[in-house]
Chains A and B, each alone.
Chain A
Amino acid sequence: MELSLVWFILIAVLWTGYLVLEGFDFGVGMLMPFVAKNDQGRRVALNTIGPVWDGNEVWLLTAGGATFAAFPEWYATLFSGFYLPLLVILLALIVRSVAIEYRGKIDDASWRRRWDLAIIVSAWIPSILWGVAFGNLVRGVPIDAASQYTGNFFTLLNPFSLLGGIVTLTLFLSHGAIFLALKTSGEIRERSENLAKRFSMAAIVVAAVWAVWAQLAYSVAWTWAAVAVAAVALIATWWGAVKERFGYAFIFNAVAVVAAVVLIFGSLYPDVMPSTTNDAYSLTVHNASSSDYTLKVMTWVAVLLTPVVLAYQAWTYWVFRRRLSVDSIPEHSEPTFAKG
């Protein structure tokens, strides 16, 4: 297999890792106000992702870095072209990581309330915008002969891509609710289970519409297989939620995300960024990639390191496997700003 194809697949794998893992982080953030009615409950929800969310986010940084190293043209056109949406995503990620870390550092109700709001909003925004970005990638954007994006902010807000935003949103809500159902007990678990049943149903509907649209308008025949797998996996997720087998539901939802990434990358190939201006201007796996030498070096690095990363991240989930309830949350012992 050509190395540029290997890297195209590897970048798809990195995005899969990101969407599966940060997908439930975002879901938990978005659902925090709906599953928890007080500070203690919100802390239960937040602490289910406490030890892992930061490591999950690194999948995005790695996808970004790998795109830079393996497909510099793609990296350059994509990030300069999707400038404003990417800016909004970055701002949300910045605020979110500070908010999660700082919300519990001062024992003050209004301090926590404000950071909670930041955590919630900064989970909703990227959950929608990632879908919009992927929608535009599949659909193609105006790119000129010099590989420059020639559209503007509103070019990116088309119905197909906005629906893509609803798809990632719904998938992440479902994913987060299932994760919370697996990781909590008591009232929060019950609410999460109910939400998981509803969102997993909604996910089937919106994902089906988007996938068929993508398939008919922008894709190739073989990716129907990915659509079929996604459909089966999403129905199985819903079934798992209804039968309260949330371990299965979680796995099936992850499979659905994998199938969605296969659909997206499968429809792109051999392009990495199709141009709607002229087919000849599209960035492809071949004309956007790094030299063979660089790809070879990076392949060795990826082959050696990725299994190690997967092993220690999996171990982390094992270490923090216990379910959390309001009883697992310690009393506030932080300082306030008022004293001393």
Chain B
Amino acid sequence: MDALELARWQFGITTVYHFIFVPLTIGLSILVAIMQTAWYRTGKDAWLRLTKFYGKLLVINFALGVATGIVQEFQFGMNWSEYSRYVGDIFGAPLAMEALAAFFLESTFLGLWIFGWDRLSKRVHLTTVWLFAIGTNLSAYFIIAANSWMQHPTGAEYNPATGRAEMTNIGEVLFNPTTLWAFPHVMATAFLVTGTVIAGIAGAWLVKKNQESGGTAKEKKARDTDRSMYRTGLRLGALVMLISGLAVIVTGDQQAKMMFEQQPMKMAAAEALCDTETGAQFSLLTIGDLTNSCDGVNHILTIPKLTSYLATGNWDSTVTGVNDLQAAYTEKYGEADYAPNLAVTYWSFRLMIGLGVFSAMLALATFWLTRKGAGPSGKWFRRLALIAIPTPYLAASFGWIFTEMGRQPWVVAPNPTGSDQVYLMTQHGYSVGVSAGEVLTSMIIFTLIYALLAVFWYRLMARYAKLGARPVDPPKKNDGDDGPLSFAY
């Protein structure tokens, strides 16, 4: 493999890995803030216990998100220096804004929240968790804006004097129409992941508590309290799953419609639609070798006209296929292969949708099962609750793999309605001064360290989830210099 391919693999590995931790941090920051608000308003012990329980998981998860995020900030310069030179005038801005407006906020206020239980008044302490959550979500916005610019560059012109793309309008960069659908889609995904984690863990605990019996009167009372708390957690999680599941579908549909116009090649590849069709069918299953060309595509299960409907809202519209798009691109940008890897695009698109929809269905089932009384007590529900957790994670990963691989061979895809000179092919973006050996070295080291850290992350998450939401003492303010800290490393 050459430096270009290695740099691509490294970006893929480090970014997909980073995004294992991101969605839970995004969603849980808001949900823990909501739990703490509920405690602040009602004074109910259960809300404090849930706040502390899920807050602990949030902090364990956040650490890896931060650690793997550092690489993202520098990787563009290290492995993609020519990309950085070409787009820095535009692309650097949302990254710098993210650091200044969002990273400072989330890091500083998370520190205040973790260590501040006894140093701040209840109200100020509640404010810190909200500011942390706002910082986290704001940071997601800037990153999606940066990514959307690569999918659909707006607010920029090519400057022949400097040989690079330059910003002409910051508003168009930050409020790119692509961002305005991609951001809610990513947010909905993050909440789908978070709702599933909350519901999955609380559901498993509810079953456990429902199976227990006997004991003294005091133990029974404690168990009833726990049951009611975990049921609350389960239903809250399921509610979040349901709302976000619907939002994922609606925003995804809108995004796809937009993408048919903005990046028609990506969508044609997603459907393995080789030839232009009117009333285009939607393929459910394809066999054969999709990898290199349209020749091997063999649809064996299709729904008539659905692709046309998904693309435009009209069953009989015409959708341009890979071959015609290839011809059009060749005419405009010169001889090259403009189709992304068909197999990866086709399957990641289907896995994203399938796994995402499956997660949303689980939420419906959960609502039905917990509609009254104590909720499920069968072992099967406990198992299902835990198996459900990885599902939306996988959907999210496949979603990113789809949208980034589908953008190939571009790193900045041309905007069909914008400036027709702002684009860059991936093969012209990597660091020409960095050897394949150097990229390989860093890729191996990152992969190994990341794998090792993932083991610790998983063990801690599992350990704390198994510990459950233990009874906690309400925090007491301590203004003095004596007495132990409420929390210490």
Name the CB-closest residue of A to B124.
Answer: A319
Q: Which of A170-178, A221-229, A324-332 contacts B (4 or more CB under 8 A)?
A: A324-332
- Determine if B344 is an interface residue (Cβ-Cβ < 8 Å): no
A61-B103, A83-B78, A294-B93 known; A47 vs B489 contact (CB < 8 Å):
yes
Most chain B CB within 10 A, of A94, A324, A327, is at: A94
A102 near B460 (CB under 8 angstroms)?
A: yes
The docked-state distance in angstroms from the alpha carbon of A312 to that of B164 is: 38
- Determine if A157 is an interface residue (Cβ-Cβ < 8 Å): no
Set B433, B480, B488: member contacting A43, Cβ < 8 A? B488
CB under 8 Å from chain A, chain B span 87-143: 87-93, 95-101, 103-105, 107-112, 114-116, 119-120
Residues in A neighbouring B115, C-beta threshold 8 A: 50-51, 320
A61-B73, A80-B77, A87-B442 known; A297 vs B93 contact (CB < 8 Å):
yes
The docked-state distance in angstroms from the alpha carbon of A294 to that of B159 is: 13
Closest CB-CB distance, A13 to chain B, in whole Å? 12
The docked-state distance in angstroms from the alpha carbon of A329 to that of B483 is: 8
Closest CB-CB distance, A92 to chain B, in whole Å? 10
A55-B104, A68-B76, A98-B64 known; A79 vs B81 contact (CB < 8 Å):
yes
A291 near B166 (CB under 8 angstroms)?
A: yes
- Determine if B1 is an interface residue (Cβ-Cβ < 8 Å): no
A106-B460, A294-B166, A340-B467 known; A72 vs B88 contact (CB < 8 Å):
yes
A50-B111, A84-B438, A319-B120 known; A58 vs B93 contact (CB < 8 Å):
no
- Determine if B249 is an interface residue (Cβ-Cβ < 8 Å): no
Residues in B neighbouring A323, C-beta threshold 8 A: 481
A80 near B433 (CB under 8 angstroms)?
A: yes
The docked-state distance in angstroms from the alpha carbon of A323 to that of B480 is: 10
B433 near A335 (CB under 8 angstroms)?
A: no
A301 near B100 (CB under 8 angstroms)?
A: yes
A50-B488, A104-B488 known; A68 vs B67 contact (CB < 8 Å):
no
Residues in B neighbouring A67, C-beta threshold 8 A: 92
- Determine if A65 is an interface residue (Cβ-Cβ < 8 Å): yes
A68-B92, A301-B97 known; A81 vs B433 contact (CB < 8 Å):
yes
- Determine if A313 is an interface residue (Cβ-Cβ < 8 Å): yes
- Determine if A182 is an interface residue (Cβ-Cβ < 8 Å): no
- Determine if B449 is an interface residue (Cβ-Cβ < 8 Å): yes
CB under 8 Å from chain B, chain A span 46-65: 46-47, 50-55, 57-58, 61-62, 64-65
The 8 A CB mask of B429-449 against A (1 = contact, 0 = none) is 001111000100110011001
The docked-state distance in angstroms from the alpha carbon of A291 to that of B69 is: 27
Closest CB-CB distance, B430 to chain A, in whole Å? 9
B431 near A72 (CB under 8 angstroms)?
A: no
- Determine if B459 is an interface residue (Cβ-Cβ < 8 Å): yes
Main secondary structure of the interface of B (DSSP, over half): helix
Name the CB-closest residue of A to B489.
Answer: A104
Set A65, A98, A316: member contacting B112, Cβ < 8 A? A316
The docked-state distance in angstroms from the alpha carbon of A105 to that of B57 is: 11
The docked-state distance in angstroms from the alpha carbon of A83 to that of B438 is: 8
B463 near A106 (CB under 8 angstroms)?
A: yes
A79 near B460 (CB under 8 angstroms)?
A: no
- Determine if B222 is an interface residue (Cβ-Cβ < 8 Å): no
The docked-state distance in angstroms from the alpha carbon of A340 to that of B466 is: 7
Set B85, B103, B120: member contacting A72, Cβ < 8 A? B85
A319-B116, A330-B488 known; A61 vs B170 contact (CB < 8 Å):
no
A83 near B434 (CB under 8 angstroms)?
A: yes
The docked-state distance in angstroms from the alpha carbon of A94 to that of B64 is: 8
A305 near B433 (CB under 8 angstroms)?
A: no
Residues in B neighbouring A331, C-beta threshold 8 A: 484
What count of chain A residues pass the 8 Å CB interface test? 79
Name the CB-closest residue of B to A330.
Answer: B484
A68 near B438 (CB under 8 angstroms)?
A: no
Residues in B neighbouring A62, C-beta threshold 8 A: 96, 99-100, 103-104
- Determine if B36 is an interface residue (Cβ-Cβ < 8 Å): no
Most chain B CB within 10 A, of A51, A57, A80, A324, is at: A80
The docked-state distance in angstroms from the alpha carbon of A247 to that of B255 is: 56
- Determine if B168 is an interface residue (Cβ-Cβ < 8 Å): yes
Closest CB-CB distance, A202 to chain B, in whole Å? 29
Closest CB-CB distance, B441 to chain A, in whole Å? 8
CB under 8 Å from chain B, chain A span 282-327: 290-291, 293-294, 297-298, 301-302, 305-306, 309, 312-313, 316, 319-320, 322-324, 327
The docked-state distance in angstroms from the alpha carbon of A65 to that of B487 is: 33
B108 near A46 (CB under 8 angstroms)?
A: no
B96 near A80 (CB under 8 angstroms)?
A: no
Most chain B CB within 10 A, of A51, A72, A77, A90, is at: A72
Set A68, A86, A149, A316: member contacting B111, Cβ < 8 A? A316
- Determine if B82 is an interface residue (Cβ-Cβ < 8 Å): yes
A80 near B107 (CB under 8 angstroms)?
A: no
- Determine if B60 is an interface residue (Cβ-Cβ < 8 Å): yes
Residues in A neighbouring B480, C-beta threshold 8 A: 322
The docked-state distance in angstroms from the alpha carbon of A249 to that of B105 is: 29
B84 near A75 (CB under 8 angstroms)?
A: yes
A43-B488, A294-B166, A335-B463 known; A66 vs B96 contact (CB < 8 Å):
yes
Residues in A neighbouring B159, C-beta threshold 8 A: 291
The 8 A CB mask of B36-62 against A (1 = contact, 0 = none) is 000000000000000000000001101
A337 near B100 (CB under 8 angstroms)?
A: no
B484 near A80 (CB under 8 angstroms)?
A: no
Closest CB-CB distance, B126 to chain A, in whole Å? 15
Residues in chain B within 8 A of chain A (CB atoms)? 59-60, 62-64, 66-68, 70-71, 73-74, 76-79, 81-82, 84-85, 87-93, 95-101, 103-105, 107-112, 114-116, 119-120, 159, 162, 164, 166-168, 170, 431-434, 438, 441-442, 445-446, 449, 453, 456, 459-460, 463-464, 466-467, 480-489
Q: A298-B93, A313-B104, A329-B484 are in contact. List 18 more A-B contacts (CB 8 A).
A: A52-B108, A57-B70, A71-B88, A72-B85, A84-B438, A87-B445, A90-B70, A94-B67, A95-B67, A97-B70, A101-B489, A106-B460, A290-B166, A309-B108, A312-B109, A316-B108, A316-B112, A320-B115
Identify 24 residue pairs between A and B in the complex whose beta-carbon atoms are under 8 Å apart, listed by A's number: A50-B114, A51-B112, A64-B74, A64-B77, A65-B95, A66-B99, A68-B95, A70-B92, A72-B84, A75-B76, A76-B81, A76-B82, A78-B77, A80-B433, A87-B78, A87-B442, A94-B71, A102-B60, A309-B100, A312-B109, A322-B481, A327-B482, A328-B483, A329-B488
Residues in chain A within 8 A of chain B (CB atoms)? 43, 46-47, 50-55, 57-58, 61-62, 64-73, 75-81, 83-84, 86-87, 90-91, 93-95, 97-98, 100-106, 147-150, 290-291, 293-294, 297-298, 301-302, 305-306, 309, 312-313, 316, 319-320, 322-324, 327-331, 335, 337, 340
